[in-house]
Amino acid sequence: MSQRLSFYIHIPYCAKRCGYCDFNTYTPSELKSGDLDSLSSSYIDSALKEIEMAAQVAGNATIPTIFFGGGTPSLLPAAQLARVIEAIRGRFTLDKDIEITLEANPDSLTQEFLDEIKSAGATRISMGMQSAVGSVLKVLDRTHNPESVGRAVSMVRAAGFEHVSVDLIYGSPGETIDDWRRSLEYALALDIDHISAYALIVEKGTKLAAQINRGELTMPPDDQSADKYLLADQHFEAAGFNWYELSNWSKPGGQCRHNIAYWDGSFWWGVGAGAHSYLNGKRWWNVKHPSSYQEKILQGQSPELSHELLTPENLSDEFIMLQIRRREGILHNHLNSAQIAKAEEFLSSGFLDSASWQDMRLVLSRDGRLIADKIVRELVL
């Protein structure tokens, strides 16, 4: 039986850089090019060559999921993204029910693009909504307005996509509990089967960090972010969305299988500038700048910048760190006696689900999800 290998395809282009973003993305003006079409064509040429390299390393693997992330994949012509899907199809065996996800900005979607990418094999659209409140979107430097998300979801459904997700961000400077409630209610009124909610993290070097450092904006207190997470969980559950990972909820059958592959320790190959990969105990990451990436590929070299070989201890710690994020939790037989003793302290404090514990499984309670990082630190020491 061939091994299973997911693909992540990094598209490093955005029309505009959002103030909070420190992802490996570039605008045409930063690359001193006004023409995204020509930029994307040569970049995809390089991505196809990296897919050939992956085939040489991994052999005829079976591909359960492909995920186009960024950046803004939906800025590229659908025909360019279709070339990637075709290249993977030509080199590997695709699962008969393969999940192919495309991240999208509501402003950049057109019905024509969606019809084309659906014909190429895409099955799932994940949309960056962030908020339904104009003032919050302005703080985040987002280009879309709240109404465009509803229109975009309708177009995605009209194109025949079965799975549609939206991402929300909570904890922006100036965002009130009522603002967050409005965003939740707006999102849940959409025709979606998956929703993600992430706490805003202010990254060094971003425009938002500079505004906060200058005192122009103030971050809300931590306990308000906890309240917003709990409010979201309650709203999602009432609407039929169940949590399956700390920041992700779905209706039955709507889970993102690509992301589950990251959390359950499956193998994946990251194609593109700055993309990360994990295969057979080795993790590596590519050079970050699209020009450097294409230069390496052009010279017939691997675009790898650096790598690490994971020890059994690394793998054991990572298993706990990732698996604890999931609703399935961790079977007791994956924990040693010291970890069981430490977990029992969290159980008695109400941070672990007692029914799951009786079934010999460590699963976070709702309150436990708020301190997941602390629990992980205690367990892996």
- The candidate with the shortest Cα–Cα distance to 131, out of 91, 56, 183, 58, is 183
Q: Which two tokens stand for residue 3?
A: 């091994």
Tens digit of pLDDT for each residue in 187-217? 999 999 999 999 998 888 899 999 999 999 9
Q: Give the separation between CA 87 and CA 106, rounded to whole angstroms.
A: 27
- For residue 295, the Cα-to-chain-centroid distance in whole angstroms is 27
pLDDT of residue 34: 61
Q: Which two tokens stand for residue 88?
A: 């993977």
Q: Which phi and psi angles does 61 have, rounded to 5°?
A: -75, 160
Confidence label for 18 from pLDDT (cuts 50, 70 and 90): confident
Residue 38 has pLDDT above 90, yes or no: no
Q: Answer yes or no: are the C-beta atoms of 100 and 140 closer than 8 Å.
A: no
Confidence label for 329 from pLDDT (cuts 50, 70 and 90): very high
Q: Give the separation between CA 267 and CA 283, rounded to whole angstroms.
A: 10
For each of the domains in the chain, give its residue range(s) and CATH number, in order of start.
6-263 (3.20.20.70), 313-380 (no CATH)
Question: 3-state SS of 213-269?
Answer: HCCCCCCCCHHHHHHHHHHHHHHHHHCCCEEEECCEEECCCCCCHHHHHHHCCCCEE
The mean per-residue pLDDT over the stretch 166-172 comes to 97
Tens digit of pLDDT for each residue in 271-320? 999 999 999 999 999 999 999 999 999 999 999 999 999 999 999 999 99
- In this predicted model, which residue has the larger pLDDT, 141 or 48? 48
The mean per-residue pLDDT over the stretch 259-266 comes to 95
pTM of the model: 0.96
Residue 1 has pLDDT above 80, yes or no: no
Q: Which two tokens stand for residue 167?
A: 């991402």
Neighbours of 379 (CB within 10 A): 21
Q: What share of the chain is helix, strand, coil (3-state, %, to 5)?
A: 45, 20, 35
